Amino acid sequence: MAYSVPTLLLSSMEQNNKPQEEDRLGALTDDILLSILGSVDLATAARTSALSTRWRSLPWLLPELNLHVRDFLPVPCPDYPLAAALRIFFYSKIPAQHINQAMASLTRAARSFLRTKHSRTVTKMSLEIYLVGNYSHDIGPLVRDAIDNGTVRELDLTIADDKDFRCKRADMLQKARVVDGFFSTYPNVLPCLTRLHLYNLRFAKGDMLHRTLFDCCKQLQHLSLDHCDAGDGSVWQIDAPSSGLRVLELRYSYLKRLEVLCLPKLELLRWEVWLHNETPLHFGSVPCLKELFLLCGADIDHPGFSLSQLLDGATDIHTLTLNFQGEKLWIQPESRQLRAAFSKLKKLSIQGIYVEFDLLWTINLLEAAPTVEIFGVEAFEHPCSVPFWVRVGVQRVQPSWKTPGFTSCSKWQLRELHVASFSPLVGHHMLFVREVMGRAPKLETVLLKENEEPCRKCEAMGALPTPIGGMFPRGKDEQDAIARQLRDKRIVSSSSAAKIVFKSIASTVVF
């Protein structure tokens, strides 16, 4: 039986009275053992010092130090991988008493490791903390001194919060003052930051946000802001020609608009949920921007905005993902207007399309991007997240886009078509796949996927797939019949040699 490295390590710790377990690890070099320790959390790494005399000093020789408050919780956070994916909901599930206990343990570990490692250099430290009680006065000096004496050169910092996105505005202002006070008290932290993740902050002035995050953070490459802004309906302008920021992530923001006037190194921008109906983004100079991810659910009265206008100034994007969360489309019908913005696009993903919506409208986007090599669509059906306006009887509005005439399909570079949450019982799913297969001359693969992560909220409600969404085909005979239908020359306008792949949770079958 094969064991993963962390499993073998934990097994040895639990059975350290068995010589053979020590022998299995003892034969390894220190470099390999340090690599093993680097794959587990710091609490586990520290516990290994009880294995033997040799192991006693190893945790203190790690080149990277990860101090995460979640690793010190007295009760592990339930279902952490799922909660981490939700980001802003994770921290709100932890009782205040557990937070205090975890911060006390983290502080003791930080004091032990940072004061012991003064003779060695930690290339990078990843620190996740709460600024609660007096712990900032304990952690702050330790980090400050570690930076001053050269022990830490790069810092990945997450300042967590115990509330979710429903945090009151007054609390957000207070939290912003606490964070600003921390950075003011320990100013050498900012120039050392390479990654920063903040939650539930409302900066009283936009210039404070800019000064803190760009003017002082010279090494900052990755910035994540969850439920952070400068006031309801505020406009945040970023003009930082000397910034090295490569990744910018925003989630659940009350910003009216983000104007990226100058971020010369920015490669990825990700924005999940904005709360105003106007165009949320404006680009100035972003010569390195290659990937854009936009996710939001729109109300029934959302007028939509022009995607081509939003992308004006960002014409080098090669990966674009739009996710509508099963609600109204928030982009206006366009096709040829997008050609300039899509001129270098290689991967296009349209996600969160309500299961009853026709998919043919998405080909308008494909028509505007003949350079796309991977095109993906995802159907959305979640009884657990039905919008309020639907629950009170308002009907969803089908996309009003006209079906394109396929005037330039001979130039398509499309090689892969991905359809997630595919169901043959949805007629327009089959029609959509046939249309693309019949008109993409270089198509090599059609990947039909089952939703790989069943929604636990839907399962808790007892919600089963409806006749609208149907079930993913599982049996090989059923899949073979569907593949034959998709290749039927009486239906498909031209033959396609593309292989058809059915990928379910349990298996992958190729036809």
CA–CA dist 118, 57 (Å, integer): 14
Task: Give the pLDDT score at 62.
Answer: 66
State how far Cα 198 lies from the chain centre: 15
| Angle at alpha carbon of residue 179, lines to 111 and 112, rounded to 5° | 5
339 within domain boundaries: yes
Bin 103: left if φ > 0, else alpha if -120 < ψ < 50, else beta: alpha
111 within domain boundaries: no
Task: Give the pLDDT score at 372.
Answer: 97
Beta strands in 355-441 (DSSP E): 374-380, 416-420
- What separation in angstroms does the CA of 502 have from each of 111, 289, 392? 53, 34, 37
Q: pLDDT band for 217, please (50, 70, 90 cuts).
A: very high
Expressed in angstroms, the distance from the first to the final Cα of the chain is 33
| Residue, of 374 and 253, whose pLDDT is higher | 374
Rg (CA), the chain: 26
At 489, the amino acid letter reads K
CA–CA dist 483, 218 (Å, integer): 54
417 within domain boundaries: yes
CA–CA dist 225, 487 (Å, integer): 47
Q: Please say if the pLDDT value at position 63 is more than 60.
A: yes
Task: Give the pLDDT score at 119.
Answer: 53
Per residue in 452-477, pLDDT (tens digit) is 666 666 666 665 554 444 578 888 99
Concatenate the DSSP letters of all residues of 61-81 into one string: G-SEEEEEGGGG-SSPPTTHH
- Tokens for 260, please give them: 């990226």
Residue 112 is classified by DSSP as H
431 within domain boundaries: yes
Task: Give the pLDDT score at 75.
Answer: 76
Q: pLDDT band for 375, please (50, 70, 90 cuts).
A: very high
Buried b / exposed e over 169-194, threshold 16 CB at 10 Å, is eeebeebbeebbebbeebeebbebbb
CA–CA dist 246, 2 (Å, integer): 39
CA–CA dist 281, 275 (Å, integer): 13
Place of tokens 């960002």: 314
CA–CA dist 424, 422 (Å, integer): 7
Q: Which of 371, 320, 328 is nearest to 350 (CA)?
A: 320
CA–CA dist 180, 11 (Å, integer): 44
- Tokens for 109, please give them: 């570990």
Task: Give the pLDDT score at 166.
Answer: 77
Per residue in 421-437, pLDDT (tens digit) is 998 888 889 999 999 99
Q: How many residues does the chain have?
A: 511
Per residue in 99-131, pLDDT (tens digit) is 999 999 899 888 877 776 545 566 789 999 999
* Residue pair 191/216 in contact by the 8 Å Cβ criterion: yes
β-strand partners of 283: 260
With both helix axes pointing from N to C terminus, report the angle between 30-37 and 5-14 in degrees, rounded to the nearest 10: 90
Concatenate the DSSP letters of all residues of 113-180 into one string: HHHHGGGS-EEEEEEEEE--TTHHHHHHHHHHHHHHTTSEEEEEEEEE-SS-TT--HHHHHHHHHHHH
* Residue pair 300/391 in contact by the 8 Å Cβ criterion: no
**Average predicted confidence (pLDDT) for the chain:** 81
Residues 131-154, mean pLDDT to the nearest whole number? 90
Residues 32-56, mean pLDDT to the nearest whole number? 59
Q: Please say if the pLDDT value at position 207 is more than 80.
A: no
59 within domain boundaries: no
Task: Give the pLDDT score at 163.
Answer: 79
72 within domain boundaries: no
335 within domain boundaries: yes
- Tokens for 27, please give them: 């034969």
Q: Which of 262, 326, 266 is nearest to 458 (CA)?
A: 326
* Residue pair 172/200 in contact by the 8 Å Cβ criterion: yes
Domain that holds residue 357: 329-383+408-455+465-510
β-strand partners of 376: 349, 418
341 within domain boundaries: yes
* Residue pair 397/328 in contact by the 8 Å Cβ criterion: yes
* Residue pair 87/129 in contact by the 8 Å Cβ criterion: no
- Tokens for 41, please give them: 């959390």
| Angle at alpha carbon of residue 66, lines to 222 and 112, rounded to 5° | 135
Number of domains in the chain: 1
CA–CA dist 399, 385 (Å, integer): 20
Q: Which of 269, 436, 419, 317 is nearest to 366 (CA)?
A: 436
CA–CA dist 426, 469 (Å, integer): 6
- Tokens for 111, please give them: 């004091």
449: CATH: 3.80.10
Residue 278: is it exposed, middle or buried by C-beta count within 10 angstroms (0-12/13-18/19+)?
exposed
